[in-house]
């Protein structure tokens, strides 16, 4: 509503403040992570986090600037372009400088399943557009009411541009958007209620092992053996409960799987004895030959029921300030963080892993918030989505809940079951309609055994990807060109 009548400069400032408030409220926990695990003084961690928040706030600021420019050319009704511009900036936030698409607007509907079904068509960006459309329609109506009848007929100037007569905004945008939301809600409710994909495909009982290992304890030599034995014990418990496929969290082994022959043999023997595949996370050293550098990967290993290694997936999208430090020379004041962060290399292949006659995929940690990355797995033939993570870093903050709900959106987008094993929670199983079948509490050990299915069906989003988001970028560019010509 503020963008209906203000200057370009103030529009940018309003967007910047909005972004700062939003990202401070949703990413406050990063400061604690850097203090606790990056050995930074609190004041330095606050500065680093503030820099990230300021960068992310640029996207709402650009959104505000672009929308205001369009409104100057076309008047307050042009606020209905806001959903298109918003999605364009969200796509930019996903990809620019490796991207950080945490808490996109569409995730606000992750638990509102009738609305969230839109993700099966246009991904989370389509849900973002729908939410923004409601706000835009209400803003147009409110802007029209604020002018008042007495002001109708008077000319107004804004940003040096003559906008014409101020008139009461029509209620048509509100009526149209409400009708769309109601239609989506009815369609989404029926789609989720029918649950066709929960009755097709081969059924498998999946066992999730949530070790709840404190990050500070994990790599202590005195604790390593006990932690490993706990995982083996909990795995046997899951097998006794009928699990046919076991999943451990990210970096769950307190050793390098390929380097510790004795510990690896215990995992292989357990898989062979129980005749179940085991998926788990472990760091991986790949030593260079002929002068090539040694590389360090955050990897996921799949051990077959016969005890052999069925496949390895190397994490492709690394966490900035967690697995590598961007702009190390610029962030010289954060030297302890640079030294504390492991210098991982990124994988280069969306490798699939075999479970019996089927292929599955795994996204490691925050990779799961990248819609297109998960889609690449499905296009490649993945019949089940898995994700392994270690959310112990976050502590008792909102981050584990944010992470789980964002992961659940991938199940709707791809029409796949999503199975998640997290060190400290939330572990769970989500069906292809976003329903949470199983879910653990955070910060407690847990063994969960639940049903999932291998699926080969396909959603519109899985087939066509982010067509709506890229169309929004093109439409935004076109609107700016038209606005520039009109103003001139």
Average pLDDT over residues 43-56: 92
How many CB atoms sit inside 10 A of residue 406's CB?
Answer: 22
Q: What is the token pair recorded at 180?
A: 């769309």
The per-residue pLDDT of the chain, averaged, comes to 89
- Give me the catalytic one of 90, 218, 244, 315: 315
The per-residue pLDDT for range 372-390, each reduced to its tens digit, is 999 999 999 999 999 999 9
Would you call 250 a catalytic residue per the annotation? Answer: yes
Asked if residue 105 has pLDDT above 50, the reply is yes
212 Cβ contact partners less than 8 Å away, ≥ 6 residues apart = 423, 424, 425, 443, 444, 445, 446
Give me the half-sphere count of Cα atoms (radius 13 Å) on the Cβ side of residue 190.
5
- Give me the catalytic one of 250, 383, 405, 414: 250
Would you call 315 a catalytic residue per the annotation? Answer: yes
The per-residue pLDDT for range 303-318, each reduced to its tens digit, is 999 999 999 999 998 8
Provide the 3-class DSSP secondary structure of residue 80: helix
What are the residue ranges of CATH 3.60.110.10 in the chain? 202-456
Q: In Å, how far are 66, 118, 134, 174, 466 from 180, measured between CA atoms? A: 25, 12, 10, 10, 21
Q: What does pTM read for this prediction?
A: 0.91
- Give me the catalytic one of 90, 218, 244, 365: 365
More confident call, 179 vs 391: 179
Give 148-157 contacts, CB < 8 A, sequence gap 24+.
156/5
The reported pLDDT for the residue numbered 210 is 96
Phi and psi at residue 174, to the nearest 5°: -65, -45
The per-residue pLDDT for range 190-213, each reduced to its tens digit, is 999 999 999 999 999 999 999 998
What's the topology of domain 202-456? Nitrilase/N-carbamoyl-D-aminoacid amidohydrolase (3.60.110)
Q: In Å, how far are 138, 189, 347, 407, 438 from 114, measured between CA atoms? A: 21, 5, 36, 17, 20
- Of the given ranges (136-145, 197-206, 275-284), which has the lowest mean pLDDT? 136-145
The reported pLDDT for the residue numbered 487 is 61
- pLDDT category of residue 214 using cuts at 50, 70 and 90: confident
- Of the given ranges (175-189, 206-220, 260-274), which has the lowest mean pLDDT? 206-220
């Amino acid at each position: 509503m503020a963008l209906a009548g203000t200057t370009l400069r103030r529009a940018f400032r309003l967007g910047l403040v909005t972004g700062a408030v939003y990202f401070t409220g949703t990413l406050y926990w990063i400061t604690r992570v850097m203090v606790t695990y990056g050995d930074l003084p609190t004041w330095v961690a606050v500065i680093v986090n503030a820099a990230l928040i300021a960068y992310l706030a640029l996207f709402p600021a650009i959104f505000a600037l672009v929308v205001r420019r369009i409104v100057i050319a076309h008047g307050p009704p042009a606020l209905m372009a806001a959903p298109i511009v918003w999605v364009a900036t969200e796509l930019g936030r996903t990809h620019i400088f490796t991207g950080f698409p945490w808490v996109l607007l569409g995730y606000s509907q992750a638990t509102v399943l009738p609305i969230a079904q839109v993700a099966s068509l246009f991904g989370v960006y389509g849900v973002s557009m729908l939410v923004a459309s409601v706000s835009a329609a209400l803003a147009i109506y409110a802007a029209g009411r604020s002018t008042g009848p007495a002001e109708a007929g008077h000319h107004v100037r804004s940003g040096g541009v003559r906008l014409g007569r101020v008139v009461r905004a029509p209620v048509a945008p509100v009526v149209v958007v409400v009708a769309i939301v109601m239609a989506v809600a009815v369609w989404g409710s029926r789609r989720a209620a029918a649950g066709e994909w929960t009755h097709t495909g081969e059924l498998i009982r999946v066992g999730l092992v949530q070790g709840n290992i404190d990050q500070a304890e994990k790599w202590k030599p005195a604790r390593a053996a006990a932690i490993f034995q706990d995982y083996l014990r909990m795995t046997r418990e899951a097998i006794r409960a009928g699990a046919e496929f076991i999943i451990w969290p990210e970096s769950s082994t307190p050793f390098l799987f390929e380097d510790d022959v004795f510990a690896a043999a215990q995992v292989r023997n357990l898989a062979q004895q129980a005749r179940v595949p085991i998926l788990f996370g472990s760091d991986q050293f790949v030593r260079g030959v002929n002068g090539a550098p040694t590389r360090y990967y955050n990897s996921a290993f799949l051990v077959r029921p016969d005890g052999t290694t069925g496949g390895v997936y190397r994490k492709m999208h690394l966490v900035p300030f967690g697995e590598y430090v961007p702009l190390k020379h610029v962030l010289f004041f954060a030297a302890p963080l640079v030294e504390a962060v492991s210098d991982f290399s990124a994988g280069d292949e969306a490798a699939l892993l075999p479970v019996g006659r089927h292929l599955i995929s795994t996204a490691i940690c925050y990779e799961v918030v990248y819609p297109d990355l998960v889609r690449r797995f499905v296009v490649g033939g993945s019949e089940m989505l898995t994700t392994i993570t270690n959310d112990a870093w976050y502590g008792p903050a909102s981050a584990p809940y944010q992470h789980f709900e964002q992961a659940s959106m991938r199940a709707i987008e791809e029409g796949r079951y999503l199975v998640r094993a997290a060190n400290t929670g939330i572990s769970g199983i989500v069906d292809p309609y976003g329903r949470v079948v199983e879910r653990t509490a955070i910060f407690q050990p847990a063994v969960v055994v639940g049903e999932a299915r291998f699926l080969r069906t396909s959603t519109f989003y899985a087939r066509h990807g982010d067509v709506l988001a890229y169309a929004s970028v093109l439409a935004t560019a076109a609107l700016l060109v038209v606005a520039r010509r009109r103003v001139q």
